[in-house]
Amino acid sequence: MSLITIFRWLKKLLHYDNKEEEQRPREEDEDCTSILADAASQQFSFPRKFSYDEIQAATSKFVRKHNPGNGKVAYFEGRLRSSGKRVVVKKVEASRRLSKEDFMEEVTKMSSIQHRNLVELQGFCLLRSSFFLVYSDYMYSRTPLDKLLFGNSDDALRWTSRLQIVVDVAKGLACLHSNNVLHLDLKSENVHLDSNFRAKISDFGFSSLAAEKTTMTVRGTPGYMAPEWLQMRVSEKTDVYSFGILVLEVVSGKKTIHYEKQMLRHLGTWAFQVAHRGRLFEMVDTKILPEVSSHSRQMKNLLKIGLWCIQADARIRPSMSSAVKMLEEGRSIIDPPLPPLPREDASIDMDFSLSVVMEMMQHRQDYGKKSSFFRK
């Protein structure tokens, strides 16, 4: 094989994922002009509208993926040529479930939400077949919470930092809910920390629900998903469940799906089992055990808040505004209800959240192909 042939083969291999983007025709949707005009007439503020050429140039033709992404959503690192600012571009394929009107409605709502604990939306681009959201460099230059909690670094997060992260996330989520927006995929990967360990939530949007209603679009990450997903009914309390799991991750340093005594466990079920034994401090990450004596009340309160948030009955869970109040007041939290213990001889933790995963793996092709969370 000649060197020229090898070069062409390598070039084709390296750019295979970007072929669709490079060959995409210039199909910027002119209809969005009328949508923007309607929004302006209603005095809505809008982030900047980018052209497809700007998005393509910023991402070097969609070469640098920010993370693997999945399905019809992908993320790309970029730098705006006009300003030199780093950004992360989220690409969403258009579908019957996400129309142009839906996209613009979400952009309108997201642009009106500004909070210190939410990653800022910089702009958007609208095509007939794809939508793009441009976020600030916070997603690019900051550290995701999961890397600090579950990475191999010996530099453990101190307790005060962990508590502040939880408070920041709670406030950001409460802000979304006060604007009738659900996140529906809150997890440690979507929490980004600065050098002072202050947190911002990313990847929200496309979930504006003024009240509880039926949805036919499954979102979320296995282990963080509330049991009501089985009935395809979501509300603010669905986010509260995910927040509760996040709280337990922060305190315990354990992943939501992990191995415990050679058995696959779900963090929620494990936490309830420990609570049944009346030994809450067994949940505390061994890396911060020396700090228990100084912060025992805060740790106990935070664990109880986490357990309140992951109640199977959504009606029992607190609202995010109530969770913020509990976190800030620092008063002793009453003991949460504890569900019946699962069978001790179970070979796998068939917690209600894992049941959701099994249901999706059996009936939904997109999720059925992704079982990596079962690997040790």
Active site residues: 185
| Burial label, 372 (beta-carbon count in 10 A; 0-12, 13-18, 19+) | exposed
Query: What is the DSSP-derived secondary structure letter of residue 244?
Result: H
Identify the DSSP state of 347: S
SS in 3 state form for 28-69? ECCCHHHHHHHHHHCCCCCCEECCHHHHHHHCCCCCCEEEEE
Q: What is the CA radius of gyration of the chain?
A: 22
CB 181 within 8 A of CB 115: no
Q: Where are the beta strands (DSSP E) in 127-165?
A: 130-135, 143-144
CA atoms within 13 A on the CB side of 353: 23
Cβ neighbours around 260 below 10 Å, total: 14
Nearest-angstrom CA–CA distance, 204 and 362 = 27
DSSP state letters, 109-129: HHHT---TTBPPEEEEEEBSS
